[in-house]
Amino acid sequence: MYSLNVHLLLSVFVLVNLCDGCAGRFSIFLKQNWECKPLSIGGETTNPSAMDLDMRIERVGRGEFFFSGTFFWNIDLDDSVLVEMQILRSHSGSEADYKLTPWSIPQQTFIEYIDTFYKDLLMANLGDCTDLPRYDSGYVPPWPKGTFNFTRCGIKGDGLPEVLVEGFYKVQAIITALPTVQQNITAIIQVTLKMF
Ligand SMILES: *[C@@H]1O[C@H](CO)[C@@H](O)[C@H](O)[C@H]1NC(C)=O
Ligand SMILES: *[C@@H]1O[C@H](CO)[C@@H](O)[C@H](O)[C@H]1NC(C)=O
């Protein structure tokens, strides 16, 4: 169940987080038919004293994009903390056109997520740009409270799909710890086909 979606999710995650590979140096080595540009990343929280995201896209040079910012986490992590992820696509970019794609992580506990997607793909690819906790041999409580930093995060670039449909992709993660907080994280990436 997990492994089925992971490849695609990683691909989109890589799109969100790097995108310098899309138009820049990686295109020389990979055979994708597309390039991409991150348009926005942000978060909405129902309770900024419990959880908050402050993230921005940084453009470096002519076409390299990175993410920098902070993620504040101030709740106890137990089985009541849930996470889910959806990927939507819009051909025109207009809000009304966004349709769900089959690439999603169904709602699961955040602890399950740490031992799967987070450990194997997210942290493995983010590497040293963040001080988010690492659990390379599996989750060991507690998850720390605090402000986690992201400094020019990129991705090593494995797992990108070769073929994508042109359009605007919206990646939306929702972390839910009711009744305390719900945190949404949304990124929008524009994918265009390469001109040869
Ligand atoms: C998060 O997204 C869900 C689903 O789109 C929405 O129902 C909810 O209101 C959003 N929450 C916040 C805090 O924006
Ligand atoms: C993030 O950076 C701030 C300011 O430098 C620091 O106080 C904090 O400890 C960092 N967070 C982590 C998890 O290291």
Taken in order 98, 99, 103, 109, is the CA torsion positive or negative? Answer: positive
Are residues 134 and 68 part of one domain?
yes
Instruction: Calculate how far, in angstroms, residue 88's C-alpha sits from the geometric centre of ligand 1.
Output: 15
97 plus 12 within the same structural domain: no
| H/E segment holding residue 23 | helix 20-23
Residue 121 CA, ligand 1 centroid: distance in Å = 25
Q: Are residues 58 and 116 in the same domain?
A: yes
Ligand nearest to the CA of 42: 1
Whether the CB of 149 sits within 6 Å of ligand 1: no
Q: Is the CB of 44 under 6 A from ligand 1?
A: yes
Residues 130-178 pLDDT 10s? 999 999 899 999 999 999 999 988 654 455 567 778 999 998 999 999 9
Sequence letter at residue 165: V
pLDDT at 122 exceeding the cut of 70: yes
Range in 1-10, 38-47, 88-97, 107-116 with the lowest mean pLDDT: 1-10
Token look-up 């959880």 returns 51
* Winning range, highest mean pLDDT, from 20-24, 32-36, 182-186: 182-186
Query: DSSP labels for 53-70?
Result: EEEEEEEETTTEEEEEEE
For residues 51 and 140, state if they share a domain: yes
| pTM metric for this prediction | 0.78
Q: What is the mean pLDDT of the chain?
A: 81
Q: Give the three-state DSSP class for 8.
A: helix
Residues 73 and 24 in one domain: no
Q: Are residues 4 and 89 in the same domain?
A: no
List of residues 6+ apart from 28 with CB closer than 8 A: none
Task: Note whether 88 and 100 are within 8 A (CB).
Answer: yes
Polymer length in residues for the chain: 196
Structural domain range at position 16: 1-30
Residues 134 and 79 in one domain: yes
Domain count, the chain: 2
Assess whether pLDDT exceeds 90 at residue 89.
yes
Give the Cα-Cα-Cα angle 22, 24, 25 (nearest 5 degrees): 110
Nearest CA to ligand 1 atom 10: 184
Structure tokens at 134: 């690492």
**Which residues are registered as beta bridge partners of 87?**
171
Give the residue, by CA position, lying nearest to ligand 1 atom 14: 44
pLDDT band at 101 (very low <50, low <70, confident <90, very high): confident
